[in-house]
Structure 1
Amino acid sequence: MDHEDTYIIKGTKEYTKLNIAFFLAGFTIFSVLYSVQPLMPYFVDIYGISETRASLVLSSSTVALALAMLVYGALSEVIGRRKIMIFSVISVSLFALVMPFVHNFDVLVFLRLVQGVCLAGLPAIAMAFISEEVSPVSQASAIGIYISGNAFGGAFGRIFTNYVSSLYGLENGLLAISILSVIATVLFVVMLPPSRHFVKVELNVRELLGAYKDHLMNRALLQPFMLGLLLMGGNIALFNYISFELINNYGIKAQYVSFLYLLFLLGIISSMTIGRVSNQFGIFNSLEYNLLLFIGGALITLVPSVTVKVIGLGLTIFGFFGGHSMASSMVGHRARDHRAQATSLYLLFYYTGTSLGGTVGGIFYSHMHWPGVVILAVVFMICALLILFNMKHVKNTPF
């Protein structure tokens, strides 16, 4: 049989099964990862801890995820991508089932950290699996469906878990999302097609470490890495602590605050339109517009009106996703070799931004309340603008 005949083609049953499998996998990973973000006020009340410490339930997972992604890509070349993805999704769901029954905050943070290591297995290699097994002409739509599962999972996990928790308690909220993740995991394992084109290669640790070192020493790559960190740091700082602001100072009930995370669906629109915008205005100008849009949106949230705050946060979402899309695309253009490792490093910086923004944002919120969080987010974006200014005026890149 011709090698080309073994590729999965759009319009076939196997293609449909693959799309459903990856949508569910992305849903599972990111719904579980971000389900705790709106729950931080509950952790503060139940455990009597500070907002900064409460943020560890998210930042512990994201920093572990970021570091683990550097390893999974290389391991998948030896062990096989399908095995690692199945391990990742199953282990994440099992940890999610345990979380509702943990009543010690330090233990919970530790389990979230270990869960973060498991979480990394899917996003680190999902696109590589699709690229190997799906016909080239059908890959774009398959990857798009996988990414939409990520976005939907992140929004759904935040909203659903917070809403159930507000009605039936924190434990039941966590249990509800874990049950859904188990169901999605079973369907993922059943529907995921076999790997037909995987070719095992020997793991060369020296070459791998050398690639990471070269990328980190390359200013043309370090600049978009830092942009990803700053964008994510600003975004997480705002959305980690807006729940405290609305509940404590505006009397908004927790179940209604959860719907604020529907704003993340605007990111899908921003990501889809940014390509046309950058083609028209240029990638540097478009990135500058998105950073300024983020700053403007953040400053608008200082107005003492819930409606105006929501509008401002919506603008920051547009700026964040647009900026993230362009910064990540820069990495692919600028990396002349070992592009998979360059992408992994970008994601390392990106998810480190989650931990940085979440933790430092808690310190600013504790001392200056919401204006402090806004100041932090704006400072992050100003730093990003300074990096962008350097990129525009120092010709060391293909752009």
Structure 2
Amino acid sequence: MDEASARLIEAGTPVFRRTTIALAAAGFSTFAVLYGVQPLLPVYAEDFGVSPAESSLALSLPCAMLAIALLVVSPLSEVWGRKPVMTASLFASALLTIVAALVPSWHGFLVLRALTGLTASGLPAVAMAYLSEEMHGRSIGLSMGLLIGGNALGGMVGRLIAGVIADHGSWRLGLGTIGVLALLAAIAFWRALPPSRRFVRSDLAWRAVPATFGQHFRDPGLPWLFSEAFLLMGGFVCIYNYIGFRLLDPPFSLSQSAIGAIFVVYLAGTASSALTGEIASRLGRRKVLWLAITVGLVGILMTLSQNLWVIIAGIVVVTVGFFGAHSVASSWIGRRALRDRAQASSIYLCLYYLGSSILGTAGGWFFAHSGWTGVVVFVGGLYGIALAIAIRLARLAPLRTT
């Protein structure tokens, strides 16, 4: 590998723009297919005759499958390469989403959603590893923020399209439209992303894989960052899973289109992830993480209001806080893990999506028994623990590259 080919990518260069556009398209595709079903959970409950908690399986099941598969896919990317794994992931998950829109039975639909989560696993951790390898240290915070911004944009557009089309047509047409957009994003990614220049292919020794994962739990900081992913994502998904049920009922009685439109607030997450990532690169992640979590906690409490506009403002604040915290924590993983970064990223994202699956479904129990107040108490508790962990991380002795 010559010096030119090993050069790190810096912000402001043409290759930086190509890379961030490609990975933003990838994040858009993955989050659209995963989370486009979220505003449709009340529709599934009515259409298939299932409970709110059961309807949440349309989201929780693929997230669980994705979380587990991440632990296998990231080592495979060390052999097959970053771009090939991500490209295959994007095309497969888009095609499965299109097929899922055509399946008539609830259980058949869930099987396809689970397979979508399985195939989608080839993007998140591998993308983080790609950025950690290819980006200059001064640019990784911004690039990771832009990747997460693409995630936020995909989540927003997917939810908005699904909600509006379901209200005026059918949920199947909405989900199929998401699949087609994800397919177009996969093509854009395949054409735009530069091949890895610093990736070093390695032989896959499965017996050695547990050790490469285990070393990260011996670090004094990484396990706490992993736990942040579980708590923050789980709480965030709870808010979005069940707010639709609340707003469909009196005194709000919103339409499915109106609820889908609320997800436009994901634009705030897009801006927050990039901005917070840049601030964290300048001021230090330990100084920013706890503040972003505090912002999210304030937003959670705001949703207790009986005023619709205050509730929407609360959702905006929650979204800003969550994506800001996720941007900081995920970029910190890449800087803290000095080796086997794909595995470190996959552990973080495994717990991230397990939080979405386990805690996102658990929130349905609180909603069924205590209404929205129960959801707020549950999620507020999760964010309170996350805040305590962030304060602990702020006192952690830094590594040379942290």
Q: Using structure 2 for the length normalisation, give the TM-score.
A: 0.87
Alignment partners' CA distance in 2, 1:161 and 1:374: 26
After superposition, the C-alpha distances for 1:177-214 in whole angstroms (9 at most, x for unaligned) are 12222333334434455566654311132332112123
After superposition, the C-alpha distances for 1:330-380 in whole angstroms (9 at most, x for unaligned) are 434443443332222111111111112211111111111111111111111
Cross-structure match for 1:172? 173
Cross-structure match for 1:377? 379
Percentage of pairs with the same residue: 35
Name structure 1 gaps, 5 residues minimum.
Answer: none
Aligned-pair CA distance for 1:311: 1.1
Cross-structure match for 1:331? 333
- Of residues 120-129 and 301-310 in structure 1, the stretch that sits farther from structure 2 once superposed is 120-129
Cross-structure match for 2:156? 155
Alignment partners' CA distance in 2, 1:18 and 1:291: 29
- Give the 3-state SS of the residue equivalent to 1:173 in structure 2: helix
Cross-structure match for 2:54? 53
The code of the aligned residue for 1:189 comes to W
Aligned-pair CA distance for 1:302: 1.1
**Aligned ranges 1:286-305 → 2 under 5 Å:** 286-305=288-307
The code of the aligned residue for 1:260 comes to I
Alignment partners' CA distance in 1, 2:21 and 2:398: 39
**Contact between 2:28 and 2:155, CA under 8 Å: does it hold in 1?**
yes
**Aligned ranges 1:1-399 → 2 under 5 Å:** 4=4, 20-129=21-130, 146-193=147-194, 198-249=199-250, 250-274=252-276, 283-284=285-286, 286-391=288-393, 398=399
- Of residues 268-277 and 35-44 in structure 1, the stretch that sits farther from structure 2 once superposed is 268-277
Cα 1:173/1:312, change in 2 over 3 Å:
same
Cα 1:313/1:135, change in 2 over 3 Å:
closer
- Give the 3-state SS of the residue equivalent to 1:121 in structure 2: coil
Alignment partners' CA distance in 1, 2:284 and 2:140: 26
After superposition, the C-alpha distances for 1:27-85 in whole angstroms (9 at most, x for unaligned) are 22221111011110110010111111111111111121122222222112212333222
- Give the 3-state SS of the residue equivalent to 2:221 in structure 1: helix
The code of the aligned residue for 1:307 comes to W
Cα 1:270/1:198, change in 2 over 3 Å:
closer
Cα 1:96/1:381, change in 2 over 3 Å:
same
Aligned-pair CA distance for 1:147: 4.0
The code of the aligned residue for 1:352 comes to L
The code of the aligned residue for 1:126 comes to A
After superposition, the C-alpha distances for 1:120-152 in whole angstroms (9 at most, x for unaligned) are 112222344466678999887766654443222
After superposition, the C-alpha distances for 1:7-45 in whole angstroms (9 at most, x for unaligned) are 799766x87665554333322222111101111011001
Name structure 2 gaps, 5 residues minimum.
Answer: none
Cα 1:311/1:187, change in 2 over 3 Å:
closer
- Of residues 24-33 and 126-135 in structure 1, the stretch that sits farther from structure 2 once superposed is 126-135
After superposition, the C-alpha distances for 1:241-288 in whole angstroms (9 at most, x for unaligned) are 111111123111110111111212212332334357668987556433
Aligned-pair CA distance for 1:327: 2.8
How many residues align? The count is 397
- Give the 3-state SS of the residue equivalent to 1:4 in structure 2: coil
Alignment partners' CA distance in 2, 1:88 and 1:183: 13
Alignment partners' CA distance in 2, 1:273 and 1:336: 25
The code of the aligned residue for 1:4 comes to A
Cα 1:253/1:357, change in 2 over 3 Å:
same
Alignment partners' CA distance in 2, 1:122 and 1:280: 27
Greater radius of gyration (CA)? 1
The code of the aligned residue for 2:158 comes to G
After superposition, the C-alpha distances for 1:272-311 in whole angstroms (9 at most, x for unaligned) are 3435766898755643333333222212211111101011
Alignment partners' CA distance in 1, 2:126 and 2:394: 32
Q: Using structure 1 for the length normalisation, give the TM-score.
A: 0.87
Alignment partners' CA distance in 2, 1:236 and 1:371: 16
Cα 1:222/1:22, change in 2 over 3 Å:
closer
The code of the aligned residue for 1:207 comes to A
- Give the 3-state SS of the residue equivalent to 2:304 in structure 1: coil
Cα 1:192/1:223, change in 2 over 3 Å:
closer
After superposition, the C-alpha distances for 1:69-128 in whole angstroms (9 at most, x for unaligned) are 222221122123332222111111110110111122122122111111110112222344
Cα 1:384/1:11, change in 2 over 3 Å:
closer
Alignment partners' CA distance in 1, 2:143 and 2:386: 32
Cα 1:285/1:192, change in 2 over 3 Å:
closer
